[in-house]
Structure 1
Amino acid sequence: MMHMEGIHITVQAKSILSKILLLAPVLNLINGVRSERERERERERGASMADSTDGSSSFWTQANALFRKNLTFQRRNFKTNLRLVLFPVFLCLLLVSLQYLVNIELDKPSLKCGCTCIDQDGDGECERVCGIEYSDLDQVATCSIPSPPEWPPLLQVPAPQYRAVRTDRLLSFGDLPNDSCTSTGSCPTTVLMTGNNQSLGENLARNMFPGSSNFNSSNGLADVVLGSASETPVSNILEPAFFSSLPVYYVQSQCQANSTFSISVPVGSTKVEKEIRCVQGQHLWRNRSSDINNELYAGYKSGNSEKKINEILAGYDFMNSNVSNYNVIVWYNSTYKNDSGNIPLGLVRVPRSINWVSNVFLQLLLGPSTQMLFDFVKEMPKPETKLRLDFSSLLGPLFFTWVILQLFPIILTALVYEKQRNLRIMMKMHGLGDGPYLMISYAYFLAISLVYIFCFVVFGSVIANALHFIAGLKFFTLNDYSIQFVFYFIYINLQISLAFLVAALFSNVKTAAVVGYIIVFATGLVGVGFFQFFLEAASFPKHWIVVMDLYPGFSLYRGLYDFSQYAFTGNYMGTSGMRWGDLTDDHNGMGHVLITMIVEWVVVFFTAYYIDQVLTSGSGARNFFWHNLKSKPSSSFRKPSSSFKKPSLQRKGSKRVRVEQLVVEQDTSHAVVCDNLKKVYPGRDGNPEKIAVRGLSLALSQGECFGMLGPNGAGKTSFINMMIGLLKPSSGTAYVRGLDITSDMDGIYANMGVCPQHDLLWESLTGREHLLFYGRLKNLKGTALTQAVEESLKSVNLFNGGVADKQSGKYSGGMKRRLSVAISLIGDPKVVYMDEPSTGLDPASRNNLWNVVKRAKQNRAIILTTHSMEEAEHLCDRLGIFVDGSLQCVGNPNELKGRYGGSYVFTMTTSSNHEANVENLVKGLSPDAKKIYEISGTQKFEMPKEAIKIADVFRAVENAKSRFDVQAWGLADTTLEDVFIKVAQEAQPLDVLS
């Protein structure tokens, strides 16, 4: 029977209790001895900790702790770091392979000096002979030419289909021939003239085009105006006009029916025969120099066609020339000139244009018999060479920009990872200052970058020197290494500072990685397709180049571009690359780039530091500067920040008065004092503002564990975040060991421990390594550090079985939780915040963890949040129920149950036909009883304790069993859970700030 079992249990309980009372003196004596021993051990441990943690840790102690942690972390990620450092080596090997393939193509016979087999001695045996006379245009560049051939000087004569004619864009120039001549190839070639003296210009023009050519004169070809439409090479070893299928022209005023001749030009021991054709030349007068410019511009291109049309033979502006003054400007045909590089793709046939007009002027002054002959043009002698293309120098600006920029997303994601996982703020809350963090992190990234660049340059140079017969990576070896070192060193520092600045914009690693790599590839592509165009355009203003250099990616691209140009030129010409003296050259931008990057480095670094301080501290610019300009941070209490005119409950008012008194008296015996702490979140998207914490006043003594209970959204997390420095209070403040949370968080962090709701751990570090790091941050050293770590591991059951030396990423959820608790207690912090510390633990581990917390609270104050009533009752000296941003009640568990739980809960289960009988039974016991539950014959009632006696309940139930069937019944006291639910339901939301 239900009641008999209850009586039996009660008797047993009384029997056991009587025995315990008899043994109480002995137990008290034993417990007294044990307690004294435990207190002695705690005093010794506290003294040891005090000696080890003499105040907050110094800058170098924090830097040492972070350095050791980072060193362990990077050693654990050795393979990843090795792949990163060797990435430039892989890229250089890729360049070697590409260069090798290119060299194979360049070593083909079709690109070597031409050879033939000749029987020179007449003995019938063929001997191999090589030379320019046996070479074509592709082969001649590699031949040995001790005595280059002499070539007649030529004009760049437009091809028949491109000669200037009237078009839709040139209708205003009616003296040009009709475009019908284009189809027959009979269009004349045009010379445009202008000047102040038109009669002088007309006289000169009439003498420019002879009526006939005399190839039998003693002057040879010097008095014949020759030209060609062929493409010009970079050298004049072989004149392509005499080797291509295009004709050589001679210019006359009128061409006769039989106007084709043949000429021969000696080349070595042979002669080159070439047919020359007549082309009609015409001169046209323009009134102004601007007219010639407009005509040239309008006829340069047609629509979207890339072919150059309406070309002129030459243009002359005689300006103020007269018989005693010769002053002329020459326009020349630059069809095959390329201004995109230091070396043009084609020579310009200008000398013949100048000699032509100068010769005509002399004939006007001294008569037609006077001539200034221009016999030939001749290239400089050259030895036999191999045709080589320095692939790395050509690809340098784009390829090497991508190589060096690869470090940017790696640094960026590493910084954002610590931000996303809240590891940075976790370290800060355990005493790591911003200075040591920035110094060690910056030094690590700088070291990785230097090793990366070192491998890049060294390996490229080794290949260039050791495998010069395979690959010509002259980009590294021709340019001065000291310039390269300065350039790379400055840029990687700028890149690291920029990564710190950009990291403030991201909170997700994947997003940061995607954006980082987009920046890498976009910078290279925009540099080669856009920025390089402006670098090579001689007419583009230089000051705009400097403005574009302000983007760090363009500064890098421009420096690499200059290196590649000097290396390519040096490799081609057989000279050295860039030297320090070259920085003063007009076309060298390296000097401007270095100055720009140095200035940006300093500006970006301090901007990144400023933004980091503003964001991580949660304060604005004004607070940041005020905090750094204060001569001495305040560590004493200030006056109370609020008046208490409208206390909603008397117990709240008394609590505030007590806190007010502690603040006025500057009582530092309390570990935590909250003075009217408030947090209001501003309204967004039309929603009203959210009041998270409403004027919280609370005092917490040393050695006390205070538990915060409350429903979700009550404001507990906002309160904790304000106390640990993640949020700034809207008003009011709090003091932790006399230090103000609004201004002295750095001092508070030195004596604070935090166990967050979510485990913030490095997955590749072991449990022991975590505790070593945080112990060093708390100024533990030597044997004290080792002993503290071992005791922490043992206390949370992570010491045995090799668990301590297993990476935390392999821990179960409960093991991670225990490690987080151990981290919060390492180094003897005086104030500890624990947010649901036993979440996810099995019953045995939870009970063990409770014992750890109970022992730990003897030397420190602990604020604990939990949803477990059992945990709160087991650990907390006082509890506070937090509802709608306010503490509704504060007290120890027994006080709360006594204050809010003054009732019994009576439960009885019967058939549904007897529910009314049960109600009558309860009303007979207590008229004030209240039904709180009813379903399928089971009913629950609340009965005031002062109105009933337990014996009366038993007698009433016994009598009821004789009248109707009672299936089950029970009588229970109020639990803490009942108190929590009752307080939460009774609390009314506050409409205004109290």
Structure 2
Amino acid sequence: MANEPASFWTQANALLRKNLTFQKRNVKTNVRLIMFPFLLCLLLVLLQRLVDSQLDKAENKCGCECVRREGDTCVEEECGIEHSDLDQVTTCAIPNPPEWSPLLQVPAPQYRAVRTDNFPFNDYPNASCRRNGSCPVTMLFTGTNQSFGEIISGNMIPSSFTAINSSAVMASLAANVAGSASYTENTNFLEPAFFSDQPIYYLQSQCTQNSTFSISFELSAAISREQELVCAEGLRLWRNSASEVNNELYRGYRKSNLEEQIQEIAAGYDFLNSNGRMFNVSIWYNSTYKNDTGSTEIALARIPRSVNLVSDAYLQFLLGPGTKMFFEFVKEMPKPSTPIKFDLASLLGGLFFTWVILQLFPIALTSLVYEKQQRLRIMMKMHGLGDGPYWMISYGYFLALSIVYMLCFVIFGSLIGLNFFTMNDYSIQFVFYFIYINLQIALAFLLASVFSNVKTATVIAYIGVFGTGLLAGFLFQFFVQDTSFPRGWIIVMELYPGFALYRGLYEFSQYSFNGDALGTDGMRWGDLSDSENGMKEVLIIMFVEWILVLSFAYYIDQLLSTGSRKSPLFFFKRFQKKPDSSFRKPSIRRQKSKVFVQMEKPDVTQERERVENLLLEPTINQAIVCDDLRKVYPGRDGNPEKLAVRGLSLALPQGECFGMLGPNGAGKTSFINMMIGLTKPTSGTAFVEGLDIRTHMDGIYTSMGVCPQHDLLWESLTGREHLLFYGRLKNLKGSALTEAVEESLKSVNLFYGGVADKKAGKYSGGMKRRLSVAISLIGDPKVVYMDEPSTGLDPASRNNLWNVVKRAKQDRAIILTTHSMEEAEVLCDRLGIFVDGSLQCIGNPKELKGRYGGTYVFTMTTSVDDEKAVENLVRRLSPNANKIYHISGTQKFELPKEDVKIADVFKAVETAKRSFTVSAWGLADTTLEDVFIKVARAAQPFDTLS
């Protein structure tokens, strides 16, 4: 039933239907939105094809050679390392990986630790050794037994060099303590030390002259190398504690690119409590040189040789100097042919896909801000839409759009074969995207309360989108990749949702990139327990933020949703006893000044007394009762406070149209804003259908209709769709809804000629105004507020609109503001003239004209020379006449009705015509406009009184 408030689900259904209709109007926009990720994925595929075509060239494949020909045709081809150069060998199948001599990680000569002002340890060599490259390689030692440690460390660095056997270069090199300053690679198929421009160093306790050698080796027929072998003196330094070793290692760490500030130490050894019966040692190594390759990082950082070296030294301590565990070689595991791959989508996915997902944020934000800027949210609320249905449908609407968008994105990316999607577990992707888009929507609701302009919100949102992607890709990613950067700060940065999104996408891209390169799977649920995988912490952060942001957004919305600020602790009122929503006894009004009491007109005082009696003995036929309603706007920027409404008391029964007249700034709109819940009264209150506007606006909205001063319409919806939406909010359904919509359209002349199904954005100003009136009346509201409803209408449309209002006021109370005296006289049962926030007079039009306009207006136009004669004529008719207008021979006078008779006026004019020329004359009764002007002028001297 229309006279019953719409249920939660009825309101939700109305908003959902409106949103779906709105979405149908924006099909082209949605297609363009979805095409963006499609085009981006296609671009990545095209770029991938281009990269693959370059990688597919012969120089990037394992070398091959024809081993059998028949004529000019190669019948049999053989591929492998032996036919490849250095650029090709990594792609070949290697069933028998080469054996490499085990090496230490040795600092380059220019980086070896020396004594400087920043590194003032006396037992280090002078910095001058860096000029000729003769600086020693330093190792630090400590332990509880120094004598034991000195012996062991002495055994670690040999005093002689074992000659290199040219037929077994690697084996004979392994008999020495060799090392390299080169960085390790991800694999050890080609040891970088043997393929770099840097020499290989062998450690001796003392280097002699002619201590540089040249070694040659052959990996295959196509790959042979000659490498320089240079002696490096080993410097053993004892320290008293592990903390001293830590201090020197830290101070020498490569913290800058200035060579003089880099003091690299090869290794550190802590023998702890080791002795002849027990061997226990901790080893420090320089992790700067390692590659992040999972479980093989220690081996590839050349740590095994450090372990073997100290183990051999201990064996020599126990069993004599000839005892040694010979560490002959290190080698990789065999591998199949691995062509060079470069997954561009996985490499760029973190940045590009961040932009793809983030572009949903401006869409949700601008939509919410648009409703706020156009005051459509408030308009819906004033016609009965509750906060619960609004939030449920609006949130669900954006969530559905986001899910469809992400499904299209993932499905299309998978269909065209992007490893970013196909290699990672789809269930992880679903959970990640689902949580993030929820967080993104909640964030849009929260930030919508900050912005009031769509253009500003759009610009800021897109700056945020592109700024987030760039900062994440070119700053945040470096922190993630830097293993020395504190993990706690990474988590702090991930509290920003954009960085959390990027981190998740970065993890997907890393797993797909490595999986494609190494032939392994992408991310699986078990990988989330990996300490280096940030996906688990990202999911937790985003989920918690989603709940918190959504709760805070709802709190802010409740605080500001109606335009009137609530107390920040308003939610505690739910636990308080609700006040009675019916009429109450009148409150003790503030003491008015004596001057104001004396100037208040009897009709206004009578209305005030009527209200007080109604509050004491309420009756059900009073639709609106205002009790001493007052609104004060606080002073700002040095200006005094503005008293907009001064203690208004007013009562309206059902079936009455009350007109509010007054000059601009009189307080009419402030009064209506209080009545419709846009602002709260400073003091006093009002009751609508027995409900208090201070505490029960949600109940009042269900029985209220509003035609605002400015049309609040969706430009992409038709007039019929507007009425269908607002009709459903008023609980109209089925045939009753259809019939009510058609009647409303016909009553405001918007039914015929296809106008009803035309978008409101294409309506003229007058058509929009008529639609706003129809919206305010649909669903049989008990109270209707119309703020200048006929503005912009042509005479015929205005006349038709008046008929609509006349019919509508039969069973409802209407408050109408207007500047048209004709409209007020035609429509209003009673009028109130407002001046400077106070009610100056009240009554029906005839009473007002009789009470404030008990005069005739006499007008006469003559030559300027006869003006005095005209004035004498008027004085003879009425000594109490008052001249109100005078210009160029035309004069107007007010003649008290009790002083003159109309016949005497006609007779006097006819007599005057014989004495001077009368161009025109007239006698008129007082109009409502005259009453308005008279009352407004009379109130001006008192407009500063309270």
Same fold by TM (over 0.5)? yes
Q: Which residue does 1:190 correspond to in 2?
A: 138
Measure, in 2, the Cα distance between the counterparts of 1:858 and 1:137: 97
Measure, in 2, the Cα distance between the counterparts of 1:650 and 1:342: 96
Alignment of 1:349-388 (within 5 A): 349-388=302-341
Q: CA deviation at 1:598?
A: 2.9
Amino acid corresponding to residue 523 of structure 2 in structure 1: M
Alignment of 1:87 with 2:36, yes or no, is yes
Alignment of 1:431 with 2:380, yes or no, is no
Alignment of 1:114 with 2:59, yes or no, is no
Q: Which residue does 2:891 correspond to in 1?
A: 939
Amino acid corresponding to residue 583 of structure 2 in structure 1: F
Measure, in 1, the Cα distance between the counterparts of 2:299 and 2:176: 24
Alignment of 1:719-734 (within 5 A): 719-734=671-686
Measure, in 2, the Cα distance between the counterparts of 1:77 and 1:951: 71
Q: CA deviation at 1:763?
A: 0.5
Measure, in 2, the Cα distance between the counterparts of 1:645 and 1:185: 99
Amino acid corresponding to residue 584 of structure 1 in structure 2: S
Measure, in 2, the Cα distance between the counterparts of 1:834 and 1:734: 18
Q: Which residue does 1:42 correspond to in 2?
A: none
Q: Which residue does 1:29 correspond to in 2?
A: none
Measure, in 2, the Cα distance between the counterparts of 1:176 and 1:594: 50
Alignment of 1:676 with 2:625, yes or no, is no
SS in structure 2 opposite 1:276? Answer: strand
Quickly say closer, same or farther: Cα 1:795–1:832, change in 2 above 3 A. Answer: same
Measure, in 2, the Cα distance between the counterparts of 1:167 and 1:122: 72
Q: Which residue does 2:512 correspond to in 1?
A: 567
Shifted more, 842-851 versus 399-408: the winner is: 399-408
Measure, in 1, the Cα distance between the counterparts of 2:716 and 2:299: 61
Q: Which residue does 1:594 correspond to in 2?
A: 539
Deviations 1:864-902 (A, max 9, x none): 100111111111111110111111111111111111111
Q: Which residue does 2:118 correspond to in 1?
A: 169
SS in structure 1 opposite 2:94? Answer: coil
SS in structure 2 opposite 1:708? Answer: strand
Q: Which residue does 2:924 correspond to in 1?
A: 972
TM-score by length of 2: 0.93
Decide which of 852, 862, 875 is 2:814's aligned counterpart.
862
Q: Which residue does 1:328 correspond to in 2?
A: 281
Measure, in 2, the Cα distance between the counterparts of 1:127 and 1:299: 58
Measure, in 2, the Cα distance between the counterparts of 1:747 and 1:410: 33
Q: Which residue does 2:263 correspond to in 1?
A: 310
Decide which of 53, 63, 68 is 2:2's aligned counterpart.
53
Measure, in 1, the Cα distance between the counterparts of 2:430 and 2:707: 46
Q: Percent identity?
A: 69
Alignment of 1:777 with 2:725, yes or no, is no
Amino acid corresponding to residue 637 of structure 2 in structure 1: D
Quickly say closer, same or farther: Cα 1:135–1:238, change in 2 above 3 A. Answer: farther
> For the Cα contact (< 8 Å) 1:340–1:537, is it kept in 2?
no
Q: CA deviation at 1:109?
A: 2.8
Alignment of 1:475 with 2:427, yes or no, is no
Q: CA deviation at 1:710?
A: 0.3
Shifted more, 621-630 versus 910-919: the winner is: 621-630
**Count of residue correspondences:** 934
> For the Cα contact (< 8 Å) 2:140–2:239, is it kept in 1?
no
Q: Which residue does 2:103 correspond to in 1?
A: 154
Quickly say closer, same or farther: Cα 1:222–1:543, change in 2 above 3 A. Answer: closer
Amino acid corresponding to residue 815 of structure 2 in structure 1: I
Measure, in 2, the Cα distance between the counterparts of 1:764 and 1:342: 60
Decide which of 151, 155, 170 is 1:203's aligned counterpart.
151
Measure, in 1, the Cα distance between the counterparts of 2:74 and 2:544: 73
Q: Which residue does 1:103 correspond to in 2?
A: 52
Alignment of 1:504 with 2:456, yes or no, is no
Decide which of 174, 179, 187 is 2:127's aligned counterpart.
179
SS in structure 2 opposite 1:278? Answer: strand
Measure, in 2, the Cα distance between the counterparts of 1:269 and 1:375: 24
Cα-Cα RMSD: 2.9
Alignment of 1:296 with 2:280, yes or no, is no
Amino acid corresponding to residue 868 of structure 1 in structure 2: S
Quickly say closer, same or farther: Cα 1:109–1:158, change in 2 above 3 A. Answer: farther
Alignment of 1:551 with 2:551, yes or no, is no
Decide which of 560, 566, 578 is 1:615's aligned counterpart.
560
Q: Which residue does 1:223 correspond to in 2?
A: 175
> For the Cα contact (< 8 Å) 2:201–2:232, is it kept in 1?
no
> For the Cα contact (< 8 Å) 1:705–1:864, is it kept in 2?
yes
Alignment of 1:639 with 2:571, yes or no, is no
Q: Which residue does 1:69 correspond to in 2?
A: 18
Measure, in 1, the Cα distance between the counterparts of 2:71 and 2:233: 51
Alignment of 1:280 with 2:232, yes or no, is yes
Amino acid corresponding to residue 72 of structure 1 in structure 2: T
Decide which of 527, 530, 539 is 1:582's aligned counterpart.
527
Quickly say closer, same or farther: Cα 1:340–1:902, change in 2 above 3 A. Answer: farther
Quickly say closer, same or farther: Cα 1:308–1:380, change in 2 above 3 A. Answer: farther
> For the Cα contact (< 8 Å) 1:789–1:826, is it kept in 2?
yes
Quickly say closer, same or farther: Cα 1:244–1:425, change in 2 above 3 A. Answer: same
Amino acid corresponding to residue 503 of structure 2 in structure 1: R
Shifted more, 743-752 versus 262-271: the winner is: 262-271
Any gaps of 5 or more consecutive residues in structure 2? none
Alignment of 1:509-908 (within 5 A): 509-538=454-483, 542=487, 545-617=490-562, 618-621=564-567, 624-625=570-571, 628-629=574-575, 634-643=580-589, 647=597, 648-908=600-860
Quickly say closer, same or farther: Cα 1:182–1:622, change in 2 above 3 A. Answer: closer
Q: CA deviation at 1:310?
A: 3.5
SS in structure 2 opposite 1:970? Answer: strand
Measure, in 2, the Cα distance between the counterparts of 1:609 and 1:704: 39
Q: Which residue does 1:411 correspond to in 2?
A: 364
Q: CA deviation at 1:378?
A: 0.7
Amino acid corresponding to residue 762 of structure 2 in structure 1: K
Measure, in 1, the Cα distance between the counterparts of 2:740 and 2:145: 102
Q: CA deviation at 1:914?
A: 2.5
Measure, in 1, the Cα distance between the counterparts of 2:223 and 2:644: 100
Measure, in 2, the Cα distance between the counterparts of 1:753 and 1:345: 76
Measure, in 2, the Cα distance between the counterparts of 1:129 and 1:673: 101
Q: CA deviation at 1:214?
A: 2.6
SS in structure 1 opposite 2:6? Answer: coil
SS in structure 2 opposite 1:150? Answer: coil
Quickly say closer, same or farther: Cα 1:612–1:275, change in 2 above 3 A. Answer: closer
TM-score by length of 1: 0.88
Measure, in 2, the Cα distance between the counterparts of 1:340 and 1:124: 44
Q: CA deviation at 1:715?
A: 0.6
Q: CA deviation at 1:213?
A: 2.6
Deviations 1:307-362 (A, max 9, x none): 98433333333343333333333333445325699996993122222222322232
SS in structure 1 opposite 2:839? Answer: strand
Shifted more, 229-238 versus 802-811: the winner is: 229-238
Quickly say closer, same or farther: Cα 1:658–1:223, change in 2 above 3 A. Answer: same
Q: Which residue does 1:420 correspond to in 2?
A: 373
Q: CA deviation at 1:732?
A: 1.6
Amino acid corresponding to residue 2 of structure 2 in structure 1: T
Q: CA deviation at 1:543?
A: 5.1
Q: CA deviation at 1:86?
A: 3.5
Alignment of 1:396 with 2:349, yes or no, is yes
Quickly say closer, same or farther: Cα 1:123–1:310, change in 2 above 3 A. Answer: farther
Q: Which residue does 1:956 correspond to in 2?
A: 908
Amino acid corresponding to residue 58 of structure 1 in structure 2: S
> For the Cα contact (< 8 Å) 2:589–2:628, is it kept in 1?
no
Deviations 1:122-173 (A, max 9, x none): 9998975432234344322211011111111122233333333333422x13
Amino acid corresponding to residue 767 of structure 1 in structure 2: G
Amino acid corresponding to residue 463 of structure 1 in structure 2: I
Quickly say closer, same or farther: Cα 1:271–1:616, change in 2 above 3 A. Answer: closer
Q: CA deviation at 1:101?
A: 2.8
SS in structure 2 opposite 1:857? Answer: helix
> For the Cα contact (< 8 Å) 2:135–2:233, is it kept in 1?
no
